Amino acid sequence: MSLINKFKDFVGYQPSNDVSNKTSMLDRKVTTKTIVTLGTMRAGKTTFLSGLGATAQYKASESAKMDNKFRFIPKEGTGNLLDDIAELRCGHFPPATPIINNSTVKPAFAFEWEDPTFFGQHFTVIRQADMPVIDYAGEQLVQLMPKVKSARTIDQMMALKASGEGTDQLTVTVNQASALLPVINAERAEGLPIFKPEPYEKIKGMSKHPDVNLQRMLGPIIEYKHDNRKYCPPLERIGVVVTACDLLFPITQAISERTGRPFDPLKPEISNESLDSFMKAFFPGTHSLISSLGLNVQYFPCYFELDGYWDQDKTDPRIRRGNIFDSPDWEHNVNRPKYTEYWFNRIIEWLKEFATRV
């Protein structure tokens, strides 16, 4: 490659603004980083990912005519992510992921950001991030990861692959990952009045303590990355999503009074410190494991506003959403679920910071 072409590649030079001559996001030859989302059973992974997908779609549509472009492509794989996003817009929570015994469901998101530089309108910087999901109904990872970690030879890996447990996809995904995004349900805070135990009886060998399950899930992944650091990229950062965060609001004042410091998961200035202290108090083992890595750890609160129930038995909550009469700006309001959209946008910006520069 000539020096001129190297310079053009470095600054992201695009020869024309003519849409007909531009390559699409799928055509770009850009190295991406991989972030893996994971969580225990009923942690809210599917709902969180659906909300993230919906937010990314809104953001991509709104940036289409801006200088700073954002593009988003969902990759369903064998999942049902687009239906889940549609369910949210209809006011329903998407169905929980069933227990899967013989394959790894791996839906994924592809994000791209294109920003102009000071060199002019033909020069842009492009970043991409790929976001697969180890959606193994959570706790099954606890049983599967040690098997992957203990496989030291090709024969052992082939035996695991032949077992039909989906270990080949899991190994590749963990190998490629540079960041982890565990999803934790606020109701799993053992010791709070809102506590609901995990359905650990459904999977043999699971602990009744949520903190233990999280450690058993994350620990082998961290060890695997350490033991194979010559062959796979290291972990660079960790994000923690706390779902059903609205259940903490009635007790925030009580928490503040007992700790002697402010506690507000939704206030941007103290949100990270608040949720970090929440994790340290109620998930001490997981907090210790994550903190020991010395990485950039960012917390994100997540919840959806409810508007009654769909059924008389009050087992199917209804998500509050916008309609044409709520606002003159109906184009940006109809069927838009009411949720922590600000924090979902913060996650997208966090992913942008993490993504590889061209």
Rounded to the nearest angstrom, the gap between the alpha carbon of residue 221 and the centroid of all alpha carbons in its chain is 16
pLDDT band for 150, please (50, 70, 90 cuts).
low
Q: Per-domain residue ranges for the chain?
A: 35-125+133-304+339-357
- Could you give the percent of the chain with pLDDT greater than 70? 74
For residue 132, give both structure tokens: 């697969």
Averaged pLDDT, 227-239: 85
pLDDT band at 273 (very low <50, low <70, confident <90, very high): very high
| Assigned token pair, 217 | 């899930």
**Between these two residues, 295 and 107, which has the higher pLDDT value?**
295
CB 146: neighbour CB atoms within 10 A? 15
Mean pLDDT of the chain: 80
- Residue 18 confidence (pLDDT): 46
Q: H or E segment at 112?
A: strand 108-117
* DSSP, res 197: -
Q: Quote the radius of gyration of the chain (alpha carbons, Å).
A: 21
Q: How far is CA 283 from CA 209, 264, 338, in A?
A: 10, 18, 28
Question: DSSP of 9-53, one letter per residue?
Answer: HHHTB-S---GGGSPPGGG-----EEEEEEE-TTSSHHHHHHHHH
N residues, the chain: 358
Tell me the residue type at 38: L
CA angle 206, 291, 214 (to 5 degrees): 10
pLDDT at 9 over 70: no
Six token digits for residue 171: 């190994």
Q: pLDDT by residue (tens digit) across 178-221?
A: 899 999 999 999 988 889 887 777 776 678 899 988 998 888 88
In 3D space, the residue among 220, 39, 216 whose CA is nearest the CA of residue 138 turns out to be 39
| pLDDT for the residue 19 | 44
pLDDT at residue 250 is higher than 60: yes
CA distances from 331 to 66, 73, 308, 335, 338 (A): 18, 22, 25, 10, 15
Model pLDDT, residue 276? 93
Locus of tokens 């000071």: 118
- How far are the Cα atoms of 50, 75, 83, 103 from residue 78, in angstroms, in the given order? 15, 9, 12, 10
* 276-330: pLDDT as tens digits: 999 999 999 999 999 999 998 999 999 999 999 999 888 889 999 988 877 777 7
Least Cα distance to 252 among 289, 283, 277 occurs for 277
Nearest partner of 101 among 133, 131, 143, 132, judged by Cα:
143
Q: What is the pTM of this model?
A: 0.83
Q: What pLDDT band is residue 51 in, cutting at 50, 70 and 90?
A: very high
